[in-house]
Structure 1
Amino acid sequence: MSEKNREGKRTARERLAVEREKQKAGERRRRTLIVTASVVCVLGLAAVIGVVAANAGKDDGRDSAGPVVAPSGAQGKDALAIPVGPDDAKATLTVWEDFRCPACKGFENNYRSTVHELTEAGKLKAEYHLATLIDGNMGGTGSRNAANAAACAQDAGKFPAYHDVLFRNQPPETDDAYADNSALIKLAGKVDGLDTPAFRTCVEDGKHNSWVVKSNEAFQKGGFGGTPTVLFNGKNIYADQSMTPAKLKKMVEEADQG
């Protein structure tokens, strides 16, 4: 074999050896990348799981944990009704309301003085049920926090006055101002004797939050069209376009005489 042919074969073998070494190096790099990527994915999944686990125990502002604590004197099924007026009244007005609901404020503005007159005269018993419809529709926690604060006022024997203050000072529907407990406590200053350490603690701790959630669940299960829902002796009267405060008063007086 000539020297030229031997040199050509040696060069070819060397080229093949170099190529094989490149292939082996590439394979090693590929395996390294696969392992690294797998580790990154596992770590990423662990990070996601960690975030989920960390947030699982946090209150997002709408969920409530802890025992259901009904306010003092609450009545009815599951103690979800706050009563105003005598238990032996022949007429009962059942009102489902949301403190962020503009229509509820409209109802209160129109009927407040009549309802007060009739409950104070012993002719009407009003039962208030609190819902959080606007929190669900608009987001936020103002409905719930205000309802909790109203339940705290019930504990203090000041529910009717504080209930009225909340509706008189209701923020715009899109403004979740009642989510701020300090705003609710400030409004308590408008009710004589309500702003006490016990009331503040009740509001800030969300003592009745779980009760409010349960009340709203009852509202949802009740199949009502919205808030306010107003029942007179079990009959929906708010849907009656001809209903007026004067007509309600007449109905109550007729029931009282009957």
Structure 2
Amino acid sequence: MSEKNREAKRSARERLAEERERQKARDKKRRALIVAAAVVGVLGLAAVVGLLAANSGDDAKDTSGPLAVPKGATGKDELTLPLGKADARSTLTIWEDFRCPACKGFEDAFRSTIHDLADKGQLKVEYHLATLIDGNMGGSGSLRAANAAACAQDTGKFPAYHDVLFKNQPVETDDAFSKNDKLIDLAGQVDGLVTDSFKKCVEDGTHDKWVAKSHKAFEDAKLQGTPTVLLNGKSVFGDQKNPLTPAKLRQMVRDANKG
């Protein structure tokens, strides 16, 4: 073999060896990047898990604390805010969300009729609060407004404040009720409601856990939505083929009270 051929073969071997070394270096670098990415992913996952755990811990801590029931709340688990005389023969059960546009529509149409029937002792009303829109649209206006309404219940002014909230309901996509200042400002429309104790109740979220329990009852009952309106346990609102009117409600109450 000529010296020239030997040199060519040696050069080829060297080039192959060099290429192998370069490939090893590339593989090592790639493995290092993979490991680094895995570490970052694990750390990121740990951060997420930690955040979830922290939030879960907060929720657990929150849930385990005392549940403040509004004064005068009645019914199963004291989740009912009553209106009218307790001995009225007929009962209207209403599930509402203060951010719910359909609830506002119901209130605007039936408010005066319901108050009149209750004032005359012909009907007692059981209000139940839900936070459905918070879950559907995001935000906390349903919860904050419901807590404020429960704070008003503590002072015996729930019905009036309930009506003020629905009369001043923002559009569904506007989470204005999430602002405690807004809720306290609206409370100024109810004589004597805005006191230091009421403001503290609103700002501290005193009845948040009670509201959460009320919404859980709404979910457990598998109701279709808000408003849900029951007269003596029978659904009377939401049938588009036979819509409820104030006159029909009055007649239904009269008929029920005769039985």
TM-score tier by shorter-chain length is 0.7 to 0.9
Q: Label 1:106 to 1:15 Cα distance change in 2 as closer, same or farther (>3 A).
A: closer
Match of 2:54 in 1: 57
- Are residues 14 and 192 of structure 1, via their aligned partners in 2, closer, same or farther at CA, if it must alter by over 3 Å? same
Secondary structure of 1:122 counterpart = coil
Other-structure match for 2:147 = 148
Q: Does structure 2 conserve the Cα–Cα contact (< 8 Å) formed by 1:145 and 1:179?
A: yes
Instruction: Check conservation: 1:64, 1:209, Cα contact below 8 A.
Output: no
In structure 2, do the counterparts of structure 1 residues 124 and 22 end up closer, same or farther at CA, with 3 Å as the change threshold? Answer: same
Tell me the C-alpha RMSD between the 2 structures. 2.9
Name the residue aligned to 1:30.
27
- Runs of at least 5 residues in structure 1 that lack an aligned partner in the other structure: none
In the alignment, structure 2 segments of 5+ residues that lack a partner are none
Aligned-pair distance for 1:181?
2.1
Q: Corresponding residue for 2:94?
A: 95
Give, in angstroms, the shift of residue 50 of structure 1.
0.7
Distance in 2, Cα, partners of 1:40 & 1:225: 47
2:84 & 2:116 partners in 1: Cα distance? 10
How big is each residue's C-alpha offset from its partner over 1:81-106, in whole Å with a ceiling of 9 and x where there is no partner? Answer: 11112222222111111112222212
Q: In structure 1, give the amino acid aligned to 2:34.
A: A
Give the deviation of 1:56 after TM superposition: 4.4
Inter-partner Cα distance in structure 1 for 2:221 and 2:184: 31
Look up the equivalent residue of 1:180 and give its one-letter code.
K
Residue 139 of structure 1 is matched in structure 2 by 138
Quick one: which amino acid aligns to residue 95 of structure 2? Answer: W
> For residues 11-63 of structure 1, what are the alpha-carbon distances to aligned partners after superposition, in whole Å with 9 as ceiling and x for unaligned?
5335423531442243134223302321232123212321342254349xx99
Give yes or no for the alignment of 1:220 onto 2:219: yes
Match of 1:43 in 2: 40
1:208, distance to aligned residue in structure 2 (A): 2.1
Q: Secondary structure at the match of 1:45?
A: helix
Partner of 1:198: 197
The SS at the match of 2:29 is: helix
In the alignment, does 2:96 pair up with 1:109? Answer: no
Paired residue type of 1:50: A
Distance 2:227 2:23 in 1: 72
The normalised TM-score by structure 1 is: 0.84
Question: What percentage of residue pairs aligned between the two structures are identical?
Answer: 52
2:20 counterpart SS class:
helix
Work out the CA distance in 1 between the residues paired with 2:82 and 2:22. 82
Indicate the structure (1 or 2) with the bigger Cα radius of gyration: 1
Aligned residues, how many?
253
Aligned to 2:250: 249
Which residue identity does 2:136 align to in structure 1? N
Residues of 2 paired with 1:31 and 1:167: CA distance? 67
CA distance in 2, matches of 1:64, 1:229: 32
Asked whether the equivalents of residues 64 and 213 of structure 1 are also in contact (C-alpha less than 8 Å), the reply is no
SS of equivalent to 1:57: helix
CA contact (8 A) 1:64 1:210 kept: no
1:17 aligns to 2:14 (yes or no): yes
Change (3 A) 1:225 1:30: closer
The amino acid across from 2:191 in the alignment is D
Q: Is the 8 A contact 1:83 1:125 kept in 2?
A: yes
